[in-house]
Amino acid sequence: MKILVIGSGGREHALVWKIAQSSLVTRLFCAPGNPGTASLAENIPLAVDDLDGLLDFAIREGIDLTVVGPELPLSLGLTDLFQEQGLMVFGASKNAAIIEGSKAFSKDLMKKYGVPTAAYEVFTQVAPAVSFIDQLGIPVVIKADGLAAGKGVIIAQSRDEAVTAVTDMLSGNAFGAAGARVVIEEFLVGEEASFLAFTDGTNIIPLATAQDHKPIYDGDQGPNTGGMGAYSPAPVVTPLIHEKAMKEVMRRTVDGMAAEGRTYKGVLYAGLMINGEEVKTLEFNARFGDPECQPLLMRLKSDIVPVLIAVARGDISGIELQWYDDASVCVVMAAAGYPGDVIKGDVIAGLADATQIDNLVIFHAGTSLKGNDCVTSGGRVLGVTARGVTVKDAIDLAYKGVDTLSWNGVQFRKDIGSKALNR
């Protein structure tokens, strides 16, 4: 099979890495890819939002399966465009991807179909938004309605911070059109986990559990990012929590989307807040999480290609996933300035040595080539991902890799996986 992966981040490098291991693959492409994917696939210089260019390439090259990584091309309707031309594609349709593309839609869906979530309201004007903030109290969660690369959520710790966030979003200064509507919701207490599942619109197959670390600094301090690291499995997801997540979150959501005429086919990601035996849904994503994808795919024993094909064809009833018992940990190394204005072009030292470490994979996210040097070119630069018999083994190995790598102003959290150890 000829397979095309769309995207250029750590998630897409992980997908390329896993797909490349399949005996079903004859040629593998990644558009636009990065220096990491270039060692496993043929990078094609097409942007993820160049839908016509991607379609032309897929037709011309005779691509058998296209795998869409990021949310933007899904929300623009790439899946629909490819399917109209008879091409097989893994990824939610445009009218299903709205579950991520609009937080207001997502919250309204949860409310309608009984998916447990935080109390909320949606606003387009500052004054009523501030009144609701005063009603809820502080801390309060403010979300840009549209896509904001994982950064459109602000947990305001003071009334002034909340008012500023709402004003900045609704004025268009913070996230442009994505912030033209805001969702304001109550602050939930507990521990977050990422719950992902494959679905064909009817059947649901859960992936292994995982946990992301959104804030930039240790101890979950500082502003939210796209994710500073993740690990799998997540002990906070007990068998009881898993059952509730499947029954109350995934089942009701997949059925609700079908009832709305928005049949969801792809991988569905629910961000959960777990407090004791209570589960509430923070948000949905219409694709693999990044960085959760990296440790999950390192633990996946099954060939992923038959799974992707079954989802794309709309029938996963015969699919079973096999997982390694090992734990996996991904530590994200970010550029100076992230999650604000990042400094680009710093030479990354130690890559050759780090890639020699057994059971460790360096997934490229924000890198590019400058002559013979690999340099930083984005906020999240590398995802250093290790597999070990225990969580501690995986943590130690991941940080061994991190210690091998360096560049000016590098940032990374030193506590990825510590919540699992504490349990």
27: in domain: yes
- pLDDT tens, 62-88? 999 999 999 999 999 999 999 999 999
What is the total count of domains within the chain? 4
| CA gap 353, 376 in Å, rounded | 18
108: in domain: no
- Average pLDDT in the 32-50 region? 98
- pLDDT tens, 123-149? 999 999 999 999 999 999 999 888 876
318: in domain: no
- Average pLDDT in the 51-56 region? 98
Q: Check whether residue 224 and residue 302 sit in a common domain.
A: yes
Report residue 218's pLDDT band, with 50, 70 and 90 as the boundaries: very high
Hey, how many other C-beta atoms are within 10 angstroms of the C-beta on 368?
16
Q: Check whether residue 246 and residue 166 sit in a common domain.
A: no
The pLDDT assigned to 174 comes to 72
Point out the domain boundary residue: 159, 186, 213: 186
357: in domain: yes
The pLDDT assigned to 132 comes to 93
Long-range contacts of range 390-397, CB-CB < 8 Å, 24 or more positions apart? Answer: 390/327, 391/231, 391/327, 391/329, 391/417, 391/420, 391/421, 392/421, 393/327, 394/231, 394/326, 394/327, 394/328, 394/329, 395/231, 395/329, 395/421, 397/329, 397/357, 397/359, 397/360
Above 80 in pLDDT, residue 242?
A: yes
What CATH number did the domain enclosing 409 receive?
A: 3.90.600.10
90: in domain: yes
Above 90 in pLDDT, residue 299?
A: yes
DSSP string, 351-393: HHHHTTSTTEEEEESSEEEETTEEEE-SSEEEEEEEEESSHHH
Q: Check whether residue 387 and residue 331 sit in a common domain.
A: yes
What CATH number did the domain enclosing 11 receive?
A: 3.40.50.20
**Bridge partners of residue 336, in order along the sequence:** none
- pLDDT tens, 260-276? 999 999 999 999 999 99
- Average pLDDT in the 15-22 region? 98
Q: Check whether residue 298 and residue 344 sit in a common domain.
A: no
Report residue 175's pLDDT band, with 50, 70 and 90 as the boundaries: confident
Q: Check whether residue 294 and residue 391 sit in a common domain.
A: no
Q: Check whether residue 237 and residue 286 sit in a common domain.
A: yes
Q: Check whether residue 27 and residue 65 sit in a common domain.
A: yes
Q: Check whether residue 148 and residue 198 sit in a common domain.
A: no
Hey, how many other C-beta atoms are within 10 angstroms of the C-beta on 30?
28
Q: Check whether residue 8 and residue 63 sit in a common domain.
A: yes
What is the arrangement of strands in the sheet containing 211-212, beginning at the earlier edge strand?
A: 211-212, 229-232, 327-334, 380-388, 360-364
Q: What is the dihedral of CA 254, 258, 262, 267, to 10 degrees?
A: 30
146: in domain: yes
Q: Check whether residue 304 and residue 198 sit in a common domain.
A: yes
The pLDDT assigned to 411 comes to 97
Give the domain range for residue 178: 119-186
111: in domain: no
Point out the domain boundary residue: 313, 346, 381: 313
The pLDDT assigned to 224 comes to 85
The pLDDT assigned to 150 comes to 64
Above 80 in pLDDT, residue 60?
A: yes
Above 90 in pLDDT, residue 385?
A: yes
Between 422 and 82, the more confident residue is: 82
Point out the domain boundary residue: 130, 154, 186: 186
Q: Check whether residue 21 and residue 36 sit in a common domain.
A: yes
Above 80 in pLDDT, residue 284?
A: yes
Q: Check whether residue 198 and residue 231 sit in a common domain.
A: yes
Q: pTM of the prediction? A: 0.95
What CATH number did the domain enclosing 182 receive?
A: 3.30.1490.20
What CATH number did the domain enclosing 267 receive?
A: 3.30.470.20
